[in-house]
């Protein structure tokens, strides 16, 4: 029987620590690395980043948008990145933020969460804007194949606040997403397969995460300004379930593999020791 994602993730984090390393091939970063902003540059960038990061972290998070921007050749590079991360022992959380009516969601689930699909990852990000229930095909495909789903709840960007903090029957919309995810994870050991996305840039204590019984992906750490010292305040007792995610702050250290890896290890050490990591800049 396929081992569940929640269990696989817990084991990977115990072995390699909680940091989730993002692979975001921004055109500006390709240029900074002295690479052409085309599919050849994308391939060199993404495979170099994979070489630097995937053998060191529990989770790698490729940002699909930057690959899709190069068309089918870019998506082919993404497929190679997914395979190379797996070979290096990392779980792949593909950041695609999909969400649609249930019948179309089933097609996304087939693409990203089903054995045999070239783009199948260990987990994906999904958007609940069409309703948490519309994500059911993704939850089912993930459960059937030992994969995971991370639902956007309270994102790291300031634009999310008005919608996500709106009142939904005495709690915020974001809290209702967390509570729906918690219901799906109830009773799972060591944790469930449904995570939430909560930005590390958010207000301390805004969400009740203690009952989630699942992982919390925390982008906003690093280039968007949140530091290791902020994490305990923002996430409180849920901190052991948090995967701080950083992309640009690591990738800016390239193109040398050793330099990216040195920065990665520095951040991992700070996360382990609770000291300051990350850096300040505007979110977005
Ligand atoms: O709330 C969210 C959800 C997803 N993201 C994604 O995470 C990375 C962040 O990159 P950095 O370079 O570390 O800022 C990026 O892929 C976003 O699309 C997010 O930032 N916030």
Q: Could you read off the pLDDT of 174-224 as tens digits, one per residue?
A: 999 999 999 999 999 999 999 999 999 999 989 999 999 999 999 999 999
Q: Which two tokens stand for residue 144?
A: 């059937």
pLDDT of residue 82: 97
Instruction: Report CA(150)–ligand 1 centroid distance (Å).
Output: 13
Instruction: Report CA(25)–ligand 1 centroid distance (Å).
Output: 12
Q: Is 10 in the pocket of ligand 1 (CB under 6 A)?
A: no
What span, in angstroms and rounded, lies between the C-alpha atoms of 69 and 154?
A: 26
Match domain 5-272 to its CATH number in 3.40.50.1220, 1.20.120.530, 3.20.20.70, 3.90.1150.10. 3.20.20.70
pLDDT of residue 237: 93
* Mean pLDDT of each 10-residue bin along the chain, 284 residues long: 92 98 98 98 98 98 98 98 97 98 97 96 98 98 98 97 95 98 97 98 92 97 94 94 98 98 97 60 43
Q: Is 222 in the pocket of ligand 1 (CB under 6 A)?
A: yes
Alpha carbon 252 to its chain centroid, in Å, reads 19
Q: Which two tokens stand for residue 51?
A: 């070489």
pLDDT of residue 102: 95
Q: Is 180 in the pocket of ligand 1 (CB under 6 A)?
A: no
Q: Is 63 in the pocket of ligand 1 (CB under 6 A)?
A: yes
Q: Is 24 in the pocket of ligand 1 (CB under 6 A)?
A: yes
Closest Cα partner for 222 from 246, 204, 243?
246
Closest Cα partner for 40 from 80, 66, 69, 74?
74
**Which residue is closest in CA terms to ligand 1's atom 5?**
219
CA 61, 63, 65: angle at the middle one, nearest 5?
165
Q: Is 202 in the pocket of ligand 1 (CB under 6 A)?
A: no
What distances in angstroms separate CA 280 from CA 197, 220, 277, 283, one per listed residue?
Answer: 20, 10, 10, 9
What distances in angstroms separate CA 275 from CA 22, 36, 40, 269, one per listed residue?
Answer: 21, 37, 38, 8
Q: Which of 25, 59, 219 to mutate to test the pocket of ligand 1 (most atoms within 8 A of CB)?
A: 219
What span, in angstroms and rounded, lies between the C-alpha atoms of 116 and 118?
A: 6
Alpha carbon 135 to its chain centroid, in Å, reads 17
Does 61 participate in catalysis according to the annotation?
no
| Confidence (pTM) | 0.95
DSSP code of residue 29:
H
The residue count for the chain = 284
pLDDT of residue 276: 52
Q: What is the CA radius of gyration of the chain?
A: 18
Q: Which of 97, 165, 208, 248 is catalytic?
A: 97
Closest Cα partner for 220 from 194, 202, 238, 240?
202
Q: Which atom of ligand 1 is nearest to the CA of 283?
A: 14
What span, in angstroms and rounded, lies between the C-alpha atoms of 142 and 275?
A: 35
Instruction: Report CA(188)–ligand 1 centroid distance (Å).
Output: 28
Closest Cα partner for 191 from 247, 269, 243, 267?
243
pLDDT of residue 2: 85
What span, in angstroms and rounded, lies between the C-alpha atoms of 225 and 278?
A: 7
What span, in angstroms and rounded, lies between the C-alpha atoms of 249 and 144?
A: 35
Closest Cα partner for 203 from 189, 215, 188, 220?
220
Interface ipTM above 0.95: yes
Closest Cα partner for 101 from 138, 67, 70?
138
């Amino acid at each position: 029987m396929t081992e569940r994602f929640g269990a696989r993730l817990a084991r990977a984090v115990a072995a390699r620590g909680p940091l989730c390393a993002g692979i975001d091939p921004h055109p500006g970063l390709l240029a900074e690395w002295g690479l052409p902003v085309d599919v050849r540059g994308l391939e060199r960038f993404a495979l170099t980043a994979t070489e630097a990061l995937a053998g060191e972290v529990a989770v790698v998070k490729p940002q699909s948008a930057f690959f899709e921007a190069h068309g089918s050749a870019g998506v082919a590079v993404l497929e190679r990145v997914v395979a190379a991360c797996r070979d290096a022992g990392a779980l792949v959380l593909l950041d695609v933020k999909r969400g649609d009516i249930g019948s179309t969601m089933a097609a996304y689930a087939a693409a990203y969460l089903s054995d045999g699909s070239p783009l199948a990852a260990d987990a994906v990000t999904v958007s609940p804007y069409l309703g948490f229930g519309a994500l059911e095909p993704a939850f089912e495909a993930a459960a059937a194949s030992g994969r995971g789903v991370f639902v956007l709840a309270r994102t790291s960007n300031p634009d999310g606040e008005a919608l996500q903090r709106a009142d939904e029957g005495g709690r915020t919309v974001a809290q209702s997403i967390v509570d729906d995810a918690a219901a799906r994870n109830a009773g799972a050991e060591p944790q469930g397969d449904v995570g939430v996305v909560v930005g590390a840039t958010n207000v301390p204590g805004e969400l009740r995460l203690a009952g989630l019984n699942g992982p919390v992906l925390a982008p906003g750490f690093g280039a968007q300004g949140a530091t290791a010292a902020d994490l305990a305040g923002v996430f409180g007792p849920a901190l052991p379930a948090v995967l701080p995610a950083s992309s640009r702050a690591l990738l800016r250290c390239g193109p040398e593999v050793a330099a990216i890896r040195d920065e990665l290890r520095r951040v991992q050490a700070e996360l382990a020791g609770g000291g300051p990591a990350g850096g300040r800049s505007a979110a977005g």
